[in-house]
Structure 1
Amino acid sequence: MRNPETPSPFDAPPPPAPLRVIVADDNPVVRAGLTALLSGRPGITVVAEAADGREAYEAARTRRPDVILLDVRMPGVDGLSALPHLVRLAPVLMLTYSRESEIVQEALRLGAGGYLVHGEFTPDQLVTAIRDVKEGKAHLTATAAGALLTRLRAEGAARDAAANASTTPTALAGKPTSPEQLSRMQPPVAQSRYQLSTREAEIMDLIASGMSNQQIAAACFISEKTVKNHINRIFAKLHSTSRAEATAKWLGTTPGSPRGRQ
């Protein structure tokens, strides 16, 4: 006779423990709405609410959440000030109305696992983002993804300017030198030479930034399979067999690249 305390190999595995979430937002209506939304979803439980970064930190220390949802603008300790301390305790998903490019970039630099702007996602997408951020998968809504691409393009323009200045010191004399102006002045040389589409150029920028296929899919709101298809076409156009080789040509660090030929 089988011991009733011994599990049968035919028993269904127990369900995973629900994800423990903290909601940090200074607006009580937003907090209550998010708590009600998430509490009605299987596999997720809201273990605490917080009205500012300090409360979020204290709650995270005592409640040990799996994910922290964090607003940016809050009285007292704001989200960006609390972020470096919170990411040591749990993955952080920014959930905010703040859509400024500089804020998005700073939040990602400080360790946020994702950035969602209110009005750009559905309840199902929010739940998916929470679960994915817990697993280390990045999630960005359209505004955040656009901010990331803006930064990458600005950095590329700055690299172009530095390369031009080092070879022809007077090339930019009397011309605007801000990253935004440079990106408008200079045609996308690599994109034109390799005949990449706009989408392929965006994906190549993300590859060069070190993103995985999963992260690129999240940033561009496409499937991983679609990302792989784009990458295959990019590699064919760049005559490359690896991400490193493609990145070197794209950034102009190989002799055969457009910048390397200058």
Structure 2
Amino acid sequence: MIRVLLADDEALIRAGIGTILSADPGIEVVAEAGTGRQAVDLARRHRPDVALVDIQMPDTDGLTAVPEILRASPRTAVAILTTFGQDAYITRALDGGASAFLLKTAEPQELMAGVRAVADGGAFLSPKVARRVITQLRDRPASPAHAARERVAALSRREKDVLALVGAGRSNAEIARELHLAEDTVKAHVSAILARLDLRNRVQAAVLAHEAGISGRG
């Protein structure tokens, strides 16, 4: 069962999203928050698998709440849920440690897919957001491939295999099956990779894998 914390300052939005998620027998909304501060407190109390957090909330906004939620409950995956798709929001959310960026206008299936993806240790971007991220990467200065390869060289062979599959968008469960490892072992490798390379989340790890030219290799 995937335990979800839902944070949005509009009660009707919470009710609607809660109804969508509750239609999936594998997802349970365990707590609801109307402010960013409440979201942090409830994350500490309930330790949910996933926190769905709106950007614009009173007290503490969603972007500020993301790193605070992760400190309060390190095993919780945070997904930003918003009607906005501005580049600045995307960048701040991902840099703050969010694993997903979901639009409130998305189809219910996309919302549930995002929750399941991050609960499984993956990352998820709504298609419209993904296109913005790709555009940002394409418009960046010359690819730092050499520097990326030097960073990746510090990893063990197995860690490189795991990073390559993270870059290909695989979940922990998928990586475990492909590399014939226990899922807990994959989680440990991913945590070690993020720590060793000073990365905040799997999205940054995937970008680095692409820059180093190893994405998809396993």
TM-score (norm 2): 0.64
Name the counterpart of 2:65: 82
- Cα 1:247–1:28, aligned 2, differ >3 Å: closer, same or farther? closer
| TM-fit CA distance, 1:211 | 5.9
| TM-fit CA distance, 1:46 | 0.5
Distance in 2, Cα, partners of 1:247 & 1:59: 38
Name the counterpart of 1:60: 43
How many residues are paired up?
156
CA deviation digits over 1:167-222, x for unaligned, max 9?
xxxxxxxxxxxxxxxxxxxxxxxxxxxxxxxxxxxxxxxxxxx961116xxxxxxx
Name the counterpart of 1:31: 14
**Stretches (4+) displaced over 4 A:** 246-249
Name the counterpart of 1:141: 126
Letter in 2 for 1:139: F
Letter in 2 for 1:93: A
Among residues 114, 136, 139, which one is paired with 1:151 in the alignment? 136
Q: Considering only CA atoms, is the larger Rg found in Structure 1 or Structure 2?
A: 1
Name the counterpart of 2:168: 213
For the 8 Å contact 1:105–1:147, the answer to whether it is kept is no
For the 8 Å contact 2:110–2:126, the answer to whether it is kept is no
Among residues 90, 104, 109, which one is paired with 1:104 in the alignment? 90
Distance in 2, Cα, partners of 1:20 & 1:35: 12
Name the counterpart of 2:198: none
Distance in 2, Cα, partners of 1:46 & 1:248: 39
- Cα 1:248–1:83, aligned 2, differ >3 Å: closer, same or farther? closer
For the 8 Å contact 1:23–1:68, the answer to whether it is kept is yes
For the 8 Å contact 1:73–1:98, the answer to whether it is kept is no
- Residue 97 of structure 2 aligns to a residue whose secondary structure is coil
Cα RMSD (Å): 2.8
List runs of 5+ in structure 1 lacking aligned partners. 1-17, 160-209, 216-243, 250-262
| TM-fit CA distance, 1:25 | 0.6
Q: Which has the higher contact order (CA 8 A, sep 6+)?
A: 2
Name the counterpart of 1:72: 55
| Residues 4-19 of structure 1: pairs in structure 2 closer than 5 A | 18-19=1-2
For the 8 Å contact 1:26–1:74, the answer to whether it is kept is yes
- In the alignment, structure 1 residue 46 sits paired with structure 2 residue 29: yes
| TM-fit CA distance, 1:64 | 1.3
- Cα 1:103–1:247, aligned 2, differ >3 Å: closer, same or farther? closer
Letter in 1 for 2:62: G
Distance in 1, Cα, partners of 2:131 & 2:77: 22
Letter in 2 for 1:128: A
Q: Identity percentage over the alignment?
A: 38
CA deviation digits over 1:107-154, x for unaligned, max 9?
0111110101122x3212211211110122111112321221232123
| TM-fit CA distance, 1:158 | 9.3
- Residue 95 of structure 1 aligns to a residue whose secondary structure is strand
